Amino acid sequence: MKEQKLHDYLQEGLYKPIRRKRFLRFTALAGGSFMLGLSACRKEGQPGSGNFDVGSADIGILNFAYALEQIEAAFYTKVNASYYKNAPLSEKQVLFDIMHHEVAHRDLFKKALGSNAIGDLQFDFSMVDFTSRDSVLNTSKALEDTGVAAYNGAGPFLQSADYLKIAGKIVSVEARHAAAIRDLLNPRSADFAGDDIVDPTTGLDFGRTPNSTAGGQSIVAIANSFLLTKISASQLP
Amino acid sequence: MKALKIFEEAYEKEVIEKNFTRREALTKGLGLGLKTALAAVPLGLLDALGNKAQAAPSNPDIIKILNYALTLEYLEDTFYKTGLSTSGLIAAGDMKIFMQISKHETAHVALLQTTITALGGTPVAEPTFDFTAGGMFPDVFTNYQRFMGLSAAFEDLGVRAYKGQAVNLVGAKDVLSVALRVHSVEARHASEVRRLRSSKGWINFAEADGLPGFIYDGEENVVQLGIDVTTITTVNRGAVTQAFDEPLSMPPVLQIAGPFIK
């Protein structure tokens, strides 16, 4: 029964109102702006009309973070709209909480960036099998670990103490997510902070700048693998 | 005692001037007096470190911050080493978790020592710790629940402490990078141990889940970048508090850690 309740809450109490309310608020904010109205109405999955460069300096870094948060928020919204087969309540609760956090992060960046914000991105989650626990949790793990590395890598380039402060407040929550998801995948093991992600000699997490290809695909490239509307960070390291 | 020397300056400058002595801070650290004591510190003061960080920090300032971090890492490192070497304390099924955490804390100690030396500073010596906090937690190494509780407290406190200093390192890219990359590891630890204790991996409002409440004071904040996040998102207030971890500046962190340092 408890599980059914949570499910109902997700369906009725959260998922739909987010979309409806966001749409209403968005169009209200947009006022007479045809462009904003249009992007708010655009259906998910439809190819994006253009690409976004995140910009330079602090605003560029915040926009880059905003792009990552848009991807995460969209991913978890889909995950929570229809869980993978036989998802236990304990796992639904984790995914449900994380969705809320990512939506809050996304909404804060959008508001804080104001007219500097990149537009709403269009997503491509075609490589994720949302009916498969393995596919969903491994995608989640990759997104969270990438998020941690991205904030850690870009943070030192921020000039504004206020922006660094907000990045710090968010990155530790992403790290909490990463550990929880890793714990779901391999319970009670060392994986929550495994040697694959935390250097066993220095005890350091990854930190990667947006375009760095040290250690594989750049974070920009990883982000773009989830996007129809491609982003670039040509003025960031 | 040597390690504490580094703190005295901070206290003298920021706390004692406000009629709040270090001795009081340390002895009241985990007592009921803390709230009152903290109330004596003007609100702006707790945030003072966070607001002044515009110019790049000087080397002595950086070294002071790193020695403060090193002291907290010593505390964690010794705590886990003691726990792991106490037979029968940690549940067999959880050993891998605490061995991994312990490995990281040992690595952090070495890394900070190296970094401080590389910057021309002198790493503080390891203080002597009293994990019973003057007898407040006599069963810390015999009661696994207590041990896990203190572990969660130290990890969450570590996250807040690093976060509190990050803003003081703006412009010192390399050191800031190290601090951030340690900070997120502490957060991974915190999440894991919290979940072991059947809490959520993230902090809901300022809920302490049976731990001393003042460790979580301020975590209920919903105003970020001057924006009340609850007014711009459909996400409920509790989730907004979970979504943002809050920093803690040196004085309150030291008030909390003080009773564990002899």
Residue to mutate among A29, A165, A196, A208, with most B CBs inside 10 A, is A165
Q: Is residue A237 part of a domain?
A: no
Close Cβ partners of B46 (under 8 Å, ≥ 6 residues apart): B38, B249, B251, B252
Answer yes or no: is pLDDT of A20 > 60.
Answer: no
In whole angstroms, give the CA distance from residue A137 to residue A182: 8
Instruction: Verify that A20 and A97 share a domain, yes or no.
Output: no
What band does A50 get if pLDDT is binned at 50, 70 and 90?
low
Same domain, A97 and A177: yes
- Its domain, for residue A104, covers 45-232
pLDDT value, residue A215: 81
The predicted pLDDT at position B44 comes to 34
Mean pLDDT of A113-125: 97
What domain range includes position B102?
2-260
Read off the pLDDT of residues A134-188 as tens digits, 9 standing for 90 and up: 999 999 999 999 999 999 999 999 999 999 999 999 999 999 999 999 999 999 9
Instruction: Show the DSSP H helices in chain B as ranges.
Output: 2-14, 22-28, 33-40, 43-46, 48-51, 59-85, 95-118, 144-166, 173-196, 237-243, 250-257
Work out how many domains chain A is built from and give that number: 2
Tell whether A5 and A97 lie within a shared domain. Answer: no
Q: Cα-flanking dihedrals φ and ψ of residue B37, to 5°?
A: -60, -45
3-state secondary structure at position A231: strand
pLDDT at B67: 97
Spans of chain B below 70 pLDDT: 1-54
Mean pLDDT (chain A) is: 85
| pLDDT tens digit sequence for B16-31 | 333 334 334 433 333 3
Whether A35 and A122 share a structural domain: no
Determine whether the interchain pair B189/A179 forms a contact, defined as Cβ–Cβ distance below 8 Å.
yes
Shared domain for A37 and A151, answered yes or no, is: no
**What CATH number should be reported for the domain holding residue B9?**
1.20.1260.10
Residues in B touching A165 (Cβ below 8 Å) = 50, 163, 166-167, 247
CA distance B238 to B261: 34
> Are A140 and A79 contacting, i.e. CB atoms less than 8 angstroms apart?
yes
Q: Do residue A127 and residue A78 come from a single domain?
A: yes
Give the torsion sign (CA, B20, B26, B27, B29): positive
**Local confidence band at A211 (pLDDT 50, 70, 90 cut-offs):** very high
Residue A13: CB atoms within 10 Å? 13
Please check whether residues A75 and A4 belong to one and the same domain: no
In chain B, residues 189-248 whose CB comes closer than 8 Å to chain A: 189-192, 195, 200-202, 224-225, 227, 229, 232-236, 239-240, 242-247
Mean pLDDT, to the nearest integer, of A214-218? Answer: 91
Share of chain A above pLDDT 70, in %: 79
CB contact under 8 A, A156 and B180: yes
Whether A20 maps to a domain, the answer reads yes
Instruction: Indicate whether A27 and A67 sit together in one domain.
Output: no
Residues 6 or more apart whose CB falls under 8 angstroms from that of A34 comprise none
CA distances (Å), origin B219, targets A163, A213, B244:
18, 36, 8
| Residue A121 in domain | yes
Q: Are residues A49 and A34 in the same domain?
A: no
CATH number assigned to the domain comprising residue A212 = 1.20.1260.10
CA distance B165 to B67: 12
Residue B127's pLDDT is what?
Answer: 96
Tell whether A10 and A73 lie within a shared domain.
no
Q: What percent of chain B has pLDDT over 90?
A: 78
Distance CA B211, CA B156 (A): 11
| Chain A neighbors of B191, CB-CB under 8 A | 175-180, 183, 192
Q: How many CA atoms lie within 13 A of B67 on its CB side?
A: 25
- Both tokens assigned to A118: 């990149």
- Do residue A50 and residue A120 come from a single domain? yes
Distance between CA atoms of residues A71 and A93, nearest Å: 20
Residue B233 has its nearest CB partner, among A104, A194, A199, at: A104
Q: Which residue of chain A is at minimal alpha-carbon distance from B165?
A: A165
pLDDT attached to residue B54? 52
* Residue A235 backbone dihedrals phi, psi, to 5 degrees: -105, 10
Per the CB < 8 A criterion, the answer to whether B155 and B189 are in contact is: yes
Task: State whether A24 and A98 are in the same domain.
Answer: no
Decide if pLDDT at A9 tops 90: no
Question: What's the gap in Å between the CA of A83 and the closest CA on chain B?
Answer: 20
Indicate if ipTM > 0.90: no
What span, in angstroms and rounded, lies between the C-alpha atoms of A133 and A135? 5
> Does residue A56 form part of some domain?
yes
Q: What distance in Å separates residue B201's CA from the closest CA in chain A?
A: 6
